[in-house]
């Protein structure tokens, strides 16, 4: 079961830096802590995979999360791990549709 972050954490805003495959910053924005990453990226207008409409089965929304803080993003559960394996994605990647963000992160995808 996912841990519920404190009200203090959820009241903050977090910075998301979007990197292209070469590591160049292509976008930077703030969002409310605890927000679903995939939902916000779509609202922002960034191209992100969505073949399963964000239910975590297609693997199309895979991104690499760069952060030194293990608690900056929701924990990867068994379902997400299975989807990454079934869709031949790296175990180091995350599915944006299954991630909630709690502190500043950088994200990178090979399709940006
Ligand atoms: S949109 Fe399909 S796994 Fe995220």
Q: How far is the CA of 27 from the centre of ligand 1 (A)?
A: 21
pLDDT tens per residue, range 19-60: 999 999 999 999 999 999 999 999 999 999 999 999 999 999
Q: Structural domains in the chain?
A: 12-108 (3.10.20.30)
Contacts of 2 (CB under 8 A, 6+ apart): 74, 75, 77
Nearest atom within ligand 1 for CA of residue 98: 4
Q: State the pLDDT at residue 75.
A: 94
Q: Report the residue among 42, 52, 79, 81 best suited for mutation to probe ligand 1: largest number of ligand atoms under 8 A from its CB.
A: 52
Nearest CA to ligand 1 atom 3: 56
| pLDDT greater than 90 at residue 18 | yes
Strand pairing class (13-19; 105-108): parallel
| pLDDT greater than 90 at residue 67 | no
């Amino acid at each position: 079961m996912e841990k519920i972050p404190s009200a203090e954490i959820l009241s903050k805003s977090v910075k998301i830096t979007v990197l292209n495959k070469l590591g160049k910053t292509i976008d930077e924005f703030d969002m409310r802590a605890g927000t679903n990453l995939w939902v916000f990226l779509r609202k922002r207008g960034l191209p992100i995979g969505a073949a399963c409409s964000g239910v975590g089965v297609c693997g199309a929304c895979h991104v690499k999360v760069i952060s030194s803080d293990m608690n900056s993003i929701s924990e990867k559960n068994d379902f997400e791990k299975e989807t990454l394996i079934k869709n031949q994605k790296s175990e180091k990647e995350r599915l944006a549709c299954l991630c909630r963000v709690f502190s500043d992160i950088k994200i990178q995808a090979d399709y940006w």
